[in-house]
Amino acid sequence: MKKIIMLVLAAILFASAQDSTGYRFGVAMGVNFSKIFTSDESVSRIWPPTYKAGYTVGVIMEKQINRRTSFQFGLLYREAGSKWGQPLFGLGYDGDYAIYKLRYISLPFYYKLKSNIGTLLKNFDFCIGLVYSYNIFAEKQFVEEIDPPPGEDRTYNPGPSNIRDEINLHEFGLTVGVKIPIGADWSVSVTYYRALNELYKDKTIIYPDDLNNKDTFVNSNFSVSVEYFIF
């Protein structure tokens, strides 16, 4: 992981040595499908984590370095989280499940390189970057599917619980993706994000009887967003 970060920083330093051509400012909004990834196969098998839909909105700034390279900064509101034990859209599962709802203020920093490969990919921007996020909301809710009395809702909902004091409020992550320009001011961005640090501060919350457990729980998401540069 350290090697990846060093490569990102090396690309940034190389681009910084080029001639500057100005700034652009704009807005971005989109949808993301987030999941809390775990390396614990026993958890994944019994309570399979699945994607939870959310949205991202914020402002962006681009610093053009030369014809092919640029930096992009952002200030974004981002929804994250996961469903556990229930496949996407609730299909094919009958039992207990949990929903994690997380919200962050994120500061993404991308290095963008314009492709010159072929006709189809010629104008695509390939990007790699680092993201710092600060958690502003964290909630876990268990939902139990039970057999109710006749005429009543089948879903028993015991209510949400605040878990903000259990998780790391500061998150650092790596993102990669592609940005597809549409005209001079519009673009569509498709990215994948993976956190570099653990979601939970202390995994004894999850494994009280296994203090040496090495399994990971980290945020991840796929995102599709539209960007518009106003000036």
HSE (side-chain half, CA atoms, 13 Å) at 195? 26
The helix/strand/coil state of 47 is: coil
How would you classify the pairing of strands 69-84 and 49-50?
antiparallel
pTM of the entire structure? 0.81
Q: What is the mean pLDDT of the chain?
A: 81
pLDDT at residue 137 above 60? yes
Cα–Cα distances in Å, from 122 out to 61, 70, 117, 119, 125?
23, 16, 5, 5, 9
> CB count, 10 Å around CB of 181?
14
Residue 107 has which token pair? 């500061």
Q: Which domains, and CATH codes, for the chain? A: 2-229 (2.40.160.20)
Between CA 130 and CA 190 the distance in angstroms is: 15
Q: What mean pLDDT is predicted for residues 180-191?
A: 94
Over residues 42-56, the pLDDT tens digits come to 666 666 788 999 999
Rounded percentage of the chain residues whose pLDDT exceeds 70: 70
Candidates 20, 47, 53; CA nearest to 34 is: 53
- pLDDT at position 115 is 85
- pLDDT at position 87 is 45
Candidates 20, 185, 9, 231; CA nearest to 111 is: 9
Least confident of 139-153, 170-184, 208-222: 139-153
Between CA 117 and CA 142 the distance in angstroms is: 49
- pLDDT at position 201 is 86
- pLDDT at position 110 is 94
- pLDDT at position 208 is 56
Over residues 214-228, the pLDDT tens digits come to 678 899 999 999 999
Confidence of residue 164 (pLDDT cuts 50, 70, 90): very high
Q: What mean pLDDT is predicted for residues 81-87?
A: 74
Residue 41 has which token pair? 């196969």
